[in-house]
Structure 1
Amino acid sequence: MLTRRIAPSLRSVVPPSSITRSFSAVTAQYADKKLSTPSLADITHDGAADFNARQREFREQLAAQQRQREQAENEAREREAQQEGGKKKTGPLSSLIYGTTEGRNLDKDIERSFSQVLARGKYVHSIVFHEVKPDKVDEYVQLVGNWYPRMASMPEHKVHLVGSWRTEVGECDTFVHIWEYQRYEGYHASLNAFENHPDYAEFNKKLRSYIFSKRSSLMQEFSFWPTTPPRKLGGLFELRSYTLHPGNLLEWETHWRRGLGARKQVMEGVGAWFVQIGELNTVHHMWQFADLEERKVRREQSWSVEGWGETVHKTVPLIQTMKSKILIPCPWSPVA
């Protein structure tokens, strides 16, 4: 359960008031520290109870925040309705449909582009894969672990680090980083800020000497699955990557939207994204488990939940290839 790095309580790491999309405070604390290289050996076989307790607490806090947001939205709609009540009235049918907020939103939905139907649109995410030389893993962890948190903690950079992980099953010694930007404007602003930082040239020179290759894609999160805010549940992660047949992304989203509710009853999701620039027709899902045995148990339980079997039946024909990686979070990762 990564016990040497996980605090005994989620609240001691991430207070309830801070369970939002703000990652800066979580990453900044790791800058300029001696960092250990993550390993599957950090995960114990008896940590499921602690993981489940942290998971329950995290979900309860998220639910409380959701209720607060819904209350604020309801109050805003009531104020809007009161304001509209004093305006010029139209015919009964027009007032019933097109004169309402729902009616206007319906028109906007019809006009939205294909990508907007799929995505929430507020964020752009990048997923970066570094294939690290085996004899340079420790140096890489120290270098990136000091650089990434510093960059993510600066508000002017307009970027958050969702998480950093090391692959232990799959393409070993490959590190996966997911960044979150405020739309493409934030992506451009972040790249510019990074490369103009006085320490960037030295960092980049060392980084290139530690890795065999680097590849990245720009993604958007599916509208039905917002990326999780920072949390420290412990355990390990699974990144599942699917290459779909061209033209099937919207159908995939439709089936997964229906099936996700079933899966989330027994598994802890991190996020789901589809690639817009880079490895096109690719979908990434990330899940979090207490350990490998719990992963097996939870996946088997999915089949007993109504709706999941149908989702698999309808999505399998849409897939060209699929990959699975078991990931261990790095010490500085906000999602861990």
Structure 2
Amino acid sequence: MASKLGISLGFRSVPKLIRPISTSPAHNDAWLSKLLVRKIEPTKESHSRMLSDKDIVYGLQTHNFRPDSRHKYIKNMKNTVALVTSHKKLENDVELVGSWTVNVGDQDQAIHLWQYRGGFQTIDDMSAVLNDNQDYMKLYKEQSELVRSRHLQYLLAFSYWPQIESRSTKNIYEIRSYALKPGTMIEWGNNWARAINHRQNNHEAFAGFFSQIGRLYNVHHIWCYKDLTSRKETRQSAWRSPGWDECVAYTVPLIREMHCRILEPTEFSPTQ
């Protein structure tokens, strides 16, 4: 895994810091060097293969439901999930990982994370099965009357991220979404393969993905906390960890846009 990302192994492919010619004082040069983006060498291997080592695709559904239709929407989605995951042709390959509504951030919004074992072939098979299923099409039509907009992304999981584990006790989740500058995904992976080691103390890392279809150069990190106070303490602890500030300094210049949302699990979410 580490060798694919070229991380601190002494290989020639390890990114080198680009330093401009400067006449600034030494202490200023040291500060500026943390804000510079490291160079990524060309490669003949696809970025997705370098960043992800599993043939599993994830679907991230974002639904903006009508404010007056929240309960009807939740019921509709619960029935939809039950239908899809219990279908004989899909039950072994399609799984709901998590389902949440947004508490802080974009209001009247729900997020659903699906896992497709077998990758895009499973997604093709699922589309064929559901398009001929009258019960599913009825639920889909009903849902269209309850939502204002829908968005779907297909994602791959970062290979260096901890394996997804469902939580059984009640928690809150935070999804931090980043729109990166085109061409910087490998650099992001290089830095976060180290940075994730600073965020494992409290078992808060839930999932990390990058987009394959939909909005491209998007990254989503999902964190799990007991509550907002625990979130604050955990994040402050990371800043006290030597090396975390350097990882942040290297990744900030790669970002075009970022935002976070605090999520609450739905009653039918597999992870609570």
Q: Same fold (TM over 0.5)?
A: yes
Does residue 1:119 correspond to 2:70, yes or no?
no
Give the AA of the match of 2:112.
H
Give the AA of the match of 1:179.
W
State percent identity of aligned pairs.
33
SS of 2:112 mapped into structure 1: strand
TM-score, length-scaled by structure 1: 0.65
Give the AA of the match of 2:114.
W
Does residue 1:315 correspond to 2:248, yes or no?
no
- Residue from 46, 49, 68 that aligns with 1:135: 68
Q: Please give the per-residue CA displacement for 1:6-64, whole angstroms capped at 9, x wherever unaligned.
A: xxxxxxxxxxxxxxxxxxxxxxxxxxxxxxxxxxxxxxxxxxxxxxxxxxxxxxxxxxx
Q: Once the 2 structures are TM-superposed, how far is the Cα of residue 227 of structure 1 from its aligned partner? A: 4.6
- Residue from 135, 149, 157 that aligns with 1:213: 149
The alignment's C-alpha RMSD in Å is 1.5
Higher fraction of strand: 2
Who is 2:33 aligned against? none
Higher fraction of helix: 1
- Residue from 68, 86, 98 that aligns with 1:153: 86
8 Å Cα contact 1:181/1:187 also seen in 2 = yes
Which of structures 1 and 2 has the bigger CA Rg? 1
- Residue from 99, 108, 113 that aligns with 1:178: 113
Does residue 1:228 correspond to 2:161, yes or no?
no
Report the number of matched residues: 227
Rounded Cα–Cα distance in structure 2 between residues aligned with 1:151 and 1:279: 25
Give the AA of the match of 2:68.
D
- Residue from 64, 77, 90 that aligns with 1:144: 77
Does residue 1:326 correspond to 2:259, yes or no?
no
Who is 1:202 aligned against? 138
Query: Where do residues 243-254 of structure 1 align in structure 2 (5 Å cutoff)?
Result: 243-254=179-190
Rounded Cα–Cα distance in structure 1 between residues aligned with 2:243 and 2:129: 46
Give 5+ residue unaligned stretches, structure 2: 1-42
Query: Where do residues 38-117 of structure 1 align in structure 2 (5 Å cutoff)?
Result: 112-117=45-50
8 Å Cα contact 1:227/1:272 also seen in 2 = no
TM-score, length-scaled by structure 2: 0.80
Q: Once the 2 structures are TM-superposed, how far is the Cα of residue 313 of structure 1 from its aligned partner? A: 1.0
SS of 2:134 mapped into structure 1: coil
Give the AA of the match of 1:211.
V
Q: Please give the per-residue CA displacement for 1:207-265, whole angstroms capped at 9, x wherever unaligned.
A: 00000000111110001115513331321000000001110000000000001011112
Give the AA of the match of 2:62.
F
Who is 1:304 aligned against? 240
